[in-house]
RNA sequence: GGGCGAUUAGCUCAGUUGGUUAGAGCGCACGCUUCACACGCGUGAGGUCACAGGUUCGAAUCCUGUAUCGCCCACCA
């Protein structure tokens, strides 16, 4: 609509059709036609969104006036292949409320949209499609498969973006980013190379979490522990072995190289240091008895069979004691040893070992215990810890940080990534809200192990390392010369997500956007990805830019059903935001996700609430009808001359406006929106309007004029205050107002000046 | 095992630094086609603020403990 929104011509052109219709009808007895019936959101929302988009004001560079202060925020990128659910809707409602507030307050606001390739999830979807077609990725080959996945991702993207717009999100679409587009790919490989050169990314043969179902390695954070009952078997390796051991996984014992006991355990002290040769289930073992303070004398027999290759803790014990770490299970969760267990799946192998133990008279006890089984979040596969050659980020290795703007960390200081992550929050350079999540964050950092970043899937950012025989090359482009093979693995999706606040602003180039908008003002996201994403962004920004990625982290809760259960297909309790928008409008949907949605706490949502807020939108519509009818013919442009009563009403409204502003500044948009709702319905409509009727019907011309001005001023004022929460209905009404200080409410000045 | 949070009206939840008779939405009861609105208006019922102590002139709010529920983290094999 307005290619150059600042021009006078354009301002005229921006006048809505509705406004013109009203102006023509300036007959005193008439009000704009659309107010003669109830508010129907469906008739307005699409046109209003289009008008906003065409105004160009979503783009900070097009905003009118001097805007020395900026406000920037990235949209947590939804999966390209996803559809909008209540979690997204809640996130969009909250973020849009903040952005619209800051835009109206006169800041140069950027809310940057993007989509996420969601590597494993997306690849899995396409693989499922292929399965239906009777083929698989192996048959297709890497290149053809990737073409297929990219096409699918691209096609799906339009769905989620369209749905995002339906919520009224004032995102700057001109800066739309995608985790796998060229700019982001360049950022990712640059980041990898720089961390590799700093020695923080290394390739190592370490014990990792292998998901046999997904056929890939996953990070510690992608594991979910499921409680199950397991059988704890107590037995000896052999008749002449002095110490009985207990385990829930007898099949792994063919990989044992030691038995660990507590150094203070008197029962076993005399065996410490002794070594035994024996045959266990056809497999020859060499077992050394070692001491380890981590062994609990009270559990089982107080002796731990050490299986270095298939248990994280055993791996560490073996490392400390210089023990060999033979692997006995392969990527398909099958046994690799010779003898009766050869080639068996771990489950079958377990039964075979137990049978053998019973046969040999070695089994002493079996009992049921509750156990936490590690499973893969995505596939549900049971994790097999095993040693593999993978890429890691070392979070504890000291390095020299060339430049740091993080308080407490000097430029040129020797630091670790862990220290940087801690300092960012401890110094309050990043504020987490609500702040009780600080503790959780520190706890996570303190327990952090090397972050495994390589994945054995095809869809994602390929690791920028090439091999030729013994040679290795790491760079953003393939090396010159023949015979180089690129590493087949891709990067953990959170590696690229970690760069998001600055890769979307043009990094590694020193762009004006990066200069203007980084660190971003706020990151709004769910508390469930505090570790996955928030912490990784702090890590990446600290390393690559020496600064924090954002000033404030606003953590929202999850949207649950009215009984507090997670929404899921199987429970059939999903409330679809698009259905809600269709039935009750985007404003009602937004408000139901904002009012009384306490930060950091889960929200229980019932459809009745959404319906209630649709009624509220209609209430405002009717209030407008009353006010416009009441002020018809009044000179609204004239300087107000209020009676004492009306002066008090205005003062009361100003106080409300300040309170609302305070609440938003303190991130309590739940309270701000609640307060507005209450004022508009129960104060303005129920009391002020009712009290105005006799005044307007009387014949005191001065009192009438004063009240007309007051009613109109308060209406125009609360439309502004309410706009961040209910943008559509407020804008629709604004377009019909006869006297206003901005053509679009979206950029109208906020009634309270920034402090 | 460690950490975080919750417990306020039938249901879902607010209650910002302690301050009059603790609020809202939905639901409920009764009455209203009152000329902005039945997507509404008015009136009303409904709470020993989980429990037990403590601090205070004063506690839903601060402190200590208990109970119940929920979540996160963790290498009891």
Length A603 CA → B50 C1' (Å): 22
Find the helix or strand (DSSP H, E) in which A24 lies.
Answer: helix A17-24
Nearest-5° angle of CA A558, CA A561, CA A562? 120
Length A597 CA → B41 C1' (Å): 29
Chain B bases having any atom below 7 Å from a protein CB = 2-6, 11-16, 24-27, 36-37, 39-42, 72-77
B2 closest protein residue (CA to C1'): A443
What is the pLDDT of chain A when averaged over all its residues? 89
3-state secondary structure of A98: helix
Length A312 CA → B75 C1' (Å): 6
Q: Return the structure tokens found at A345.
A: 């799946």
Length A161 CA → B19 C1' (Å): 50
pLDDT-based confidence at A483, cuts 50/70/90?
Answer: very high
3-state secondary structure of A520: strand
The span from the CA of A301 to the CA of A247, in Å, is 10
How large a percentage of chain A has pLDDT more than 70? 95
Residue spans of alpha helices (H) in A632-739: 644-665, 669-678, 690-697, 701-722, 727-734
pLDDT of residue A177: 96
pLDDT-based confidence at A472, cuts 50/70/90?
Answer: very high
pLDDT-based confidence at A118, cuts 50/70/90?
Answer: confident
CB A685 within 8 A of CB A623: yes
Nearest nt to the CA of A313 via C1' is B75
Give the closest residue to A577 by CA, choosing from A88, A76, A73, A18.
A88
B75 closest protein residue (CA to C1'): A313
Length A642 CA → B3 C1' (Å): 57
Nearest-5° angle of CA A221, CA A226, CA A227? 140
Length A674 CA → B58 C1' (Å): 29
pLDDT of residue A459: 87
Nearest nt to the CA of A608 via C1' is B26
When pLDDT is averaged across residues A139-150 and rounded to a whole number, the result is 88
Q: Return the structure tokens found at A710.
A: 């007051």
For residue A436, give every residue at least 6 positions away whose Cβ sits within 8 Å of its Cβ, in sequence order, or none: A600
Length A555 CA → B1 C1' (Å): 28
Length A623 CA → B39 C1' (Å): 13
pLDDT of residue A298: 84
CB A340 within 8 A of CB A282: yes
pLDDT of residue A12: 31
The span from the CA of A346 to the CA of A648, in Å, is 79
Q: Is the pLDDT of residue A755 over 80?
A: no
CB A542 within 8 A of CB A425: no
pLDDT-based confidence at A27, cuts 50/70/90?
Answer: very low
Nearest nt to the CA of A305 via C1' is B77
Q: Is the pLDDT of residue A11 over 70?
A: no
What pTM, to 2 d.p., does this model score?
A: 0.90
Nearest nt to the CA of A604 via C1' is B12
Nearest nt to the CA of A689 via C1' is B36
pLDDT of residue A348: 94
pLDDT-based confidence at A632, cuts 50/70/90?
Answer: confident
The span from the CA of A177 to the CA of A188, in Å, is 13
3-state secondary structure of A7: coil
A555-602 confidence digits (pLDDT tens): 988 888 777 778 877 777 788 899 999 989 999 999 988 887 888 888
Omega into A434 within 30° of 0, i.e. cis? yes
A683-726 confidence digits (pLDDT tens): 899 889 999 999 999 889 999 999 999 999 999 999 999 999 99
Distance between alpha carbon A343 and the CA centroid of its chain, in Å? 42
Q: How far, in Å, are A251, A256, A439, A588 from residue A353 at the CA level?
A: 6, 14, 44, 62
Backbone angles phi, psi at A337, to 5 degrees: -85, 165
Q: Report the length, in residues, of chain A.
A: 755
When pLDDT is averaged across residues A523-550 and rounded to a whole number, the result is 93
3-state secondary structure of A531: helix
CB A74 within 8 A of CB A523: yes
Length A675 CA → B9 C1' (Å): 20
A373-406 confidence digits (pLDDT tens): 899 888 888 999 999 999 999 999 999 999 999 9
Q: Is the pLDDT of residue A253 over 60?
A: yes
Q: Is the pLDDT of residue A9 over 80?
A: no
Length A35 CA → B77 C1' (Å): 72
**What dihedral do alpha carbons A240, A241, A242, A247 form, nearest 10°?**
-140
Length A429 CA → B65 C1' (Å): 37
- The CB density around residue A351, as the number of other CB atoms within 10 Å, is 12
Length A601 CA → B6 C1' (Å): 10
B72 closest protein residue (CA to C1'): A440
Q: Is the pLDDT of residue A206 over 60?
A: yes
Nearest nt to the CA of A626 via C1' is B36
The span from the CA of A640 to the CA of A717, in Å, is 14
Q: Return the structure tokens found at A696.
A: 């307007």
The span from the CA of A556 to the CA of A639, in Å, is 44
Q: Is the pLDDT of residue A39 over 60?
A: yes
B76 closest protein residue (CA to C1'): A299
Backbone angles phi, psi at A632, to 5 degrees: -55, 130
A32-36, A40-44, A150-154, A301-305: least confident range: A32-36
Find the helix or strand (DSSP H, E) in which A311 lies.
Answer: none
The span from the CA of A33 to the CA of A25, in Å, is 9
Length A305 CA → B31 C1' (Å): 79
């Amino acid at each position: 609509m307005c290619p150059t929104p600042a021009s006078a011509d354009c301002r005229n052109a921006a006048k809505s059709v509705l406004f013109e219709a009203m102006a023509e009808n300036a007959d005193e007895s008439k009000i704009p036609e659309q107010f003669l019936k109830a508010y129907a959101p469906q008739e307005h929302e699409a046109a209003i969104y289009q008008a906003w988009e065409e105004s160009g004001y979503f783009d900070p560079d097009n905003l009118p006036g001097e805007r020395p202060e900026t406000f920037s925020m990235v949209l947590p990128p939804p999966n390209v292949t996803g559809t909008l659910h209540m979690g997204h809707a809640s996130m969009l409602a909250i973020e849009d409320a903040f952005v619209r507030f800051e835009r109206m307050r006169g800041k140069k606001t950027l809310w940057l949209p993007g989509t996420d390739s969601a590597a494993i999830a997306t690849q899995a979807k396409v693989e499922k499609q292929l399965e239906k077609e009777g083929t698989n990725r192996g048959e297709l080959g890497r290149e053809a498969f990737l073409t297929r996945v990219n096409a699918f991702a691209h096609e799906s993207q339009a769905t989620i973006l369209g749905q995002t717009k339906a919520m009224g999100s004032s995102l700057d679409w001109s800066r739309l980013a995608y985790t796998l587009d060229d700019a982001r790919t360049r950022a990712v490989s640059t980041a990898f190379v720089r961390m590799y050169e700093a020695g923080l990314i290394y390739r190592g043969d370490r014990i990792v979490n292998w998901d046999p179902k997904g056929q890939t390695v996953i990070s510690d954070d992608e594991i979910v522990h499921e409680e199950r009952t397991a059988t704890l078997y107590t037995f000896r390796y052999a008749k002449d072995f002095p110490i009985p051991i207990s385990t829930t996984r007898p099949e792994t014992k063919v990989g044992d190289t030691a038995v660990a006991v507590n150094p203070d355990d008197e029962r076993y002290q005399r065996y410490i240091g002794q070594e035994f040769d024996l045959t266990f289930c056809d497999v020859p073992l060499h077992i050394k008895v070692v001491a380890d303070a981590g062994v609990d004398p009270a559990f089982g027999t107080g002796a731990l069979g050490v299986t270095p290759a298939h248990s994280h803790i055993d791996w560490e014990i073996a490392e400390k004691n210089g023990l060999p770490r033979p692997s006995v299970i392969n990527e398909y969760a099958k046994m690799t040893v010779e003898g009766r267990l050869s080639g068996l799946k771990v489950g079958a192998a377990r039964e075979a070992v137990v049978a053998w133990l019973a046969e040999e008279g070695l089994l002493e006890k079996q009992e049921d215990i509750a156990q936490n089984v590690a499973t893969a979040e995505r596939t549900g596969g049971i994790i097999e810890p095993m040693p593999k050659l993978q890429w890691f980020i070392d979070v504890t290795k000291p390095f020299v940080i060339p430049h740091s703007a993080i308080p407490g960390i000097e430029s040129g200081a020797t630091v670790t990534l862990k220290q940087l992550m801690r300092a960012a929050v401890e110094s309050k350079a990043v504020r987490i809200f609500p702040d009780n999540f600080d503790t959780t964050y520190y706890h996570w950092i303190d327990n952090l192990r090397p972050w495994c970043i390589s994945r054995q899937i095809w869809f994602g950012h390929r690791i920028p390392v090439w091999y030729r025989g013994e040679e290795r090359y790491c760079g953003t482009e393939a090396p010159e010369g023949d015979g180089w093979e690129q590493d087949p693995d891709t990067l953990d999706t959170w590696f690229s997500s970690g760069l998001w606040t600055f890769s979307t602003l043009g990094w590694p180039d020193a762009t004006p956007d990066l200069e203007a908008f980084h660190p971003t003002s706020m990151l709004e996201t769910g508390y469930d990805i505090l570790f996955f994403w928030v912490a990784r962004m702090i890590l990446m920004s600290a390393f690559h830019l020496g600064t924090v990625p954002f000033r404030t982290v606003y953590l929202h809760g999850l949207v649950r059903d009215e009984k507090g259960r997670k929404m899921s297909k199987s429970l059939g309790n999903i409330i679809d935001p698009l259905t809600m928008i269709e039935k009750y409008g985007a404003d009602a949907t937004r408000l139901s996700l904002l009012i009384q949605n306490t930060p950091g706490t889960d929200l229980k949502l019932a459809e009745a609430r959404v319906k209630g807020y649709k009624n509220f939108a209609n209430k405002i519509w009717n209030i407008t009808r009353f006010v416009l009818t009441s002020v018809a013919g009044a000179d609204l442009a004239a300087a107000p001359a209020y009676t004492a009563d009306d002066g008090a009403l205005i003062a009361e409204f100003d106080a409300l406006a300040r309170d609302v502003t305070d609440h938003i500044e303190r991130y309590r948009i739940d309270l701000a929106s609640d307060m507005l709702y209450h004022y508009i319905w129960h104060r303005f409509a129920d009391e002020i309007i009712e009290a105005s009727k006799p005044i307007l019907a009387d014949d005191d011309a001065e009192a009438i004029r004063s009240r007309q001005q007051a009613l109109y001023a308060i209406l125009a004022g609360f439309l502004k205050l309410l706009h961040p929460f209910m943008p559509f209905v407020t804008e629709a009404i604004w377009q019909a107002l006869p006297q206003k200080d901005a053509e679009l409410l979206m950029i109208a000045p906020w009634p309270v000046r920034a402090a």
